[in-house]
Amino acid sequence: MPQISERGLQMPASPIRKLAPLSDAAKACGVKVYHLNIGQPDLPSPQVALDAIRNIDRTTLEYSPSDGFRFYRENLVKYYAKFDIHLLPEEIIVTAGGSEAVLYAFMACLNPGDEIIVPEPAYANYMAFAVSAGAVIKTIPTSIDTGFKLPEIEKFEELINPRTKGILICNPNNPTGYVYTAEEMEQIRLLVKKHNLYLFSDEVYREFIYSDAPYISACHLKEIEENVVLIDSVSKRYSECGIRIGCLITKNKKLHDTVMKFCQARLSPPLIGQIAANASLQENGAYMQGNFDEYKSRRDFLIDRLNKIPGVYSPQPEGAFYTLASLPVEDTDKFCAWCLSDFRYENQTVFMAPASGFYVTPGLGKNEVRIAYVLNKEDLNNALIVLEKALEEYNRKE
């Protein structure tokens, strides 16, 4: 039998999706499964986007330009200006979701063996994209005990060597919901400037910041404008995960032109997705405000209920729609699998993402789970009842 590539063998399984076969088997038996594992918003997409898709009057569904339709990029310029991010259409490349933007950024900026520094826990697919590009992730551990704040700058300096080419952040953060402070962003800016690094900044959750702290984009940081690679997506803010539209933003002309080579090789981003995403930019603000209010309400409800379950702890996330919670079990990989395969409460169970898959350092996150609060509060409440019952039974069994 032919051998599988080393890259394929190194590619990590998704902690978000790897238990899906157990969930599917449970549902096939008529079990109600509450999905807290994946950041798939349950809120409706903007009506203007749905109408735009229904009213497509093209007779041919053609290729778009490799960097995306100019009319969409021009409207994105107006969108970003609302956040004090000032761009030209030529500095925006439309991608097939934020995932493609991360992958192309890595492939354009990093050679095999090059290193990037990433605070952990981190979005698990960053590790997969690094493997795809042949890059190496070096992690800065953060702790649930401090609410996942960044460590002192000296910890970063200890990791920097001639192979270090960049720092990757997600702000607001997936999976923790943490929002970086002005002081932390300044600390990162100084590191990037001092060592001439790339700063990859995933900012897909910018609309969902629940504290009074100002939103600080990597694009706001002075004197490193050509080092910044901004990653974005419409998936979360407009509940449009399936249209696969994101973008990569850079003021670095050489990097832009390099990324475009990869974009040309894959031909074009999705046509219908761009039509929907462009229409979404026309929503009047009420849509986003409604989503914001709903997620904030869910967050408050979830964190209050979680911390009332014996042995469970979650800090209060300040952004996105995730939290990382510690559970009174030794191994959440085993516990989450057991919930799907063996546990039922009133013919219901719960699907969570074991947090170990969001860490690179072995042993970290073994008693933590990521919970996405993308269910309505009635379902969230039911899911938490099931979780509490599951913990009681599991610990009796142990």
pLDDT digits (tens, 9 = 90+) for 278-316: 999 999 899 999 999 999 999 999 999 999 999 999 999
pLDDT band per the 50, 70, 90 thresholds, residue 12: confident
User: What pLDDT, on the 0 to 100 scale, is given for residue 10?
Assistant: 87
- Residue range 225-235: mean pLDDT, rounded: 98
- Residue range 123-131: mean pLDDT, rounded: 93
Residue 249 has φ and ψ, to the nearest 5°, of: -120, 130
Q: Is the pLDDT of residue 254 over 80?
A: yes
Per the CB < 8 A criterion, the answer to whether 34 and 351 are in contact is yes
User: What pLDDT, on the 0 to 100 scale, is given for residue 341?
Assistant: 96
Q: How far is CA 178 from CA 149, 332, 382, 390, in A?
A: 7, 21, 26, 28
Q: Where are the alpha helices (DSSP H) in 35-93?
A: 47-54, 70-81
User: pLDDT, tens digit, for every residue of 338-368?
Assistant: 999 999 999 999 999 999 999 999 999 999 9
Q: Is the pLDDT of residue 383 over 90?
A: yes
Q: What domains appear along the chain, each with residue ranges and CATH number?
A: 6-44+286-397 (3.90.1150.10), 47-280 (3.40.640.10)
- Residue range 185-211: mean pLDDT, rounded: 97
User: pLDDT, tens digit, for every residue of 143-177?
Assistant: 999 999 999 989 999 999 999 999 999 999 999 99
Q: Is the pLDDT of residue 241 over 70?
A: yes
Q: Is the pLDDT of residue 398 over 70?
A: no
Q: Is the pLDDT of residue 14 over 90?
A: no
User: What pLDDT, on the 0 to 100 scale, is given for residue 130?
Assistant: 95
Q: How far is CA 150 from CA 48, 111, 115, 173, in A?
A: 39, 27, 19, 12
* β-bridge pairing 115-120 and 228-233: unpaired
User: What pLDDT, on the 0 to 100 scale, is given for residue 98?
Assistant: 97
DSSP string, 109-129: H--TT-EEEEEES--HHHHHH
- Residue range 34-45: mean pLDDT, rounded: 94
| Helix pair 332-341, 20-28: axis angle to 10 deg | 20
User: What pLDDT, on the 0 to 100 scale, is given for residue 284?
Assistant: 84
Average pLDDT across the chain, whole number: 96
